[in-house]
Amino acid sequence: MVSRSSVARPRVVRLAGLGVGGAMLLALLSGCSVAGLGSAFGGFGWPQGGITPQAHKMYDLWIASTIAALVVGVFVWGLIFWCVIRYRKRGDQLPVQTRFNMPLEILYTVTPVLIVAVLFYYTAIVQTDVDKLSKNPDQVVEVVAFKWNWQFNYRDGIGPEAKTVASTLGSTDVIPLLVLPTGQKIRFEETSKDVIHSFWVPEMLFKRDVFPGNVRNTFEVTLDKEGRYVGRCAELCGTYHAFMQFELVVVSPERFERFLAAKEAGATTPDAMGAIGYTGSERFAVTTQPFDTRRHGESWNQTDTVAAGK
């Protein structure tokens, strides 16, 4: 009786140590080929195709955490099935009753704490990086949200005292375009005219609430991929919240300079888009379109009107 448990115990401890060590190692090696492994499994549910270094870091963190969780999961499932098979009922005799295995108790108290500590460490690093503000951003954009559209003000400096050098205002008929360059530090400073909105470009894998009043939320990103991306309000702000959209247009720094120069010279946003090579309908949003918000007999309260025989 005694000999059996004393032989089994070190083996279990060794096995547990091995699994935990593997999980920790994977978590520690997270930076290396995690992105490749993650994309092989469809990102483990995390959106792929981020367009900022910050988005790539968040993606890597997610993949590494998921792999670490999977390693622990597979190890635990293995132990469960091993116990189920190895110690299945063989007769009516009561099996050896063991309790209070001190090494194991310590192991499975210390191990989760270590795993959480490692996850916390990497989360804190990525979060700090995503939230980091530089002293001298290359571009500053003031995001003004209101029910139910956006205004983007290109600023000559940081803070509320800076001046607007050019701006784009969305309307019911025109989706506002936010044109920005690649490879530059871009600071967003957010303010709302009425209620709480939220600035969200899905490809940035990032959103931040836009508050009214004195709160001026800021964040910075660097865009590393040219293209056109839909932007949305991500905070339920009223009747037409779902229609509160904009488009982020990421271009080369040279084209951005030309765009901004055209805007500063008084061009409309579609005209400035024309000045950097966009033609026809490309001068307007291509990822989304304005919605008809007019209320009339056909679009509003139709059921009631029909029911009343009007």
Closer to Cu ion by CB, 126 or 233: give it.
233
User: Which span sits near Cu ion by CB under 5 A: 35-43, 177-185, 186-194, 231-239?
Assistant: 231-239
* Whole-number Å distance between alpha carbons of 5 and 177: 70
Report the C-alpha gap between 248 and 2 in whole angstroms.
70
Question: Binding to Cu ion (CB under 5 A): which residues in 195-214?
Answer: 197
Q: Which is nearer to Cu ion, 193 or 225 (CB)?
A: 193
Which CB sits closer to Cu ion, 197 or 283? 197
What residues between 239 and 268 interact with Cu ion by CB under 5 A? 244
Residues 140-199 touching Cu ion, rule: CB under 5 A, are 197
Q: How far is CA 24 from the centre of its chain?
A: 25
Strands 217-222 vs 185-192: parallel, antiparallel or unpaired: antiparallel
Please, is 27 exposed, middle or buried when counting C-beta atoms within 10 Å of its C-beta (0-12, 13-18, 19+)?
Answer: buried
Stretch that binds Cu ion, among 25-33, 150-158, 226-234, 250-258 (CB under 5 A): 226-234
Find, among 187, 184, 182, the residue nearest to 158 by Cα.
187
Euclidean distance between CA atoms 251 and 277, whole angstroms? 11
Q: Closer to Cu ion by CB, 30 or 192: give it.
A: 192
Q: How many chain residues touch Cu ion (CB under 5 A)?
A: 4
- Closest CB 217 distance from Cu ion, rounded Å: 14
Nearer to Cu ion, 21 or 238 (CB): 238
Question: Token digits for 275?
Answer: 């000045």
Rounded-to-integer distance, Cα 140 and Cα 137, Å: 7
Q: Is 237 in the site for Cu ion (CB under 5 A)?
A: yes
Please tell me the distance from the alpha carbon of residue 180 to that of residue 113, in angstroms, as a whole number. 43
Write down the least CB distance from residue 261 to Cu ion, Å: 31
Nearer to Cu ion, 57 or 197 (CB): 197
Q: Among residues 227, 222, 151, 225, which one has the least CA distance to residue 190?
A: 151
How many separate helices (H) and strands (E) can be counted in the chain? Answer: 7, 10
- Nearest-angstrom CA–CA distance, 182 and 53: 11
Amino acid at 90: R
Residues between 116 and 145 that touch Cu ion (CB under 5 A): none
The one segment of 154-162, 232-240, 252-260, 261-269 that binds Cu ion by CB under 5 A = 232-240
Question: Residue 260, CB half-sphere, CA atoms under 13 Å: how many?
Answer: 21
Supply the minimum distance, in Å, between the C-beta of residue 214 and Cu ion. 19
- The stretch among 85-93, 238-246, 261-269, 281-289 that binds Cu ion (CB under 5 A) is 238-246
Rounded to the nearest whole angstrom, what is the least distance from the CB of residue 147 to Cu ion in the complex?
A: 7
Among residues 233, 251, 262, 273, which is the contact residue for Cu ion, using CB under 5 A? 233
Contacting positions for Cu ion (CB under 5 A): 197, 233, 237, 244
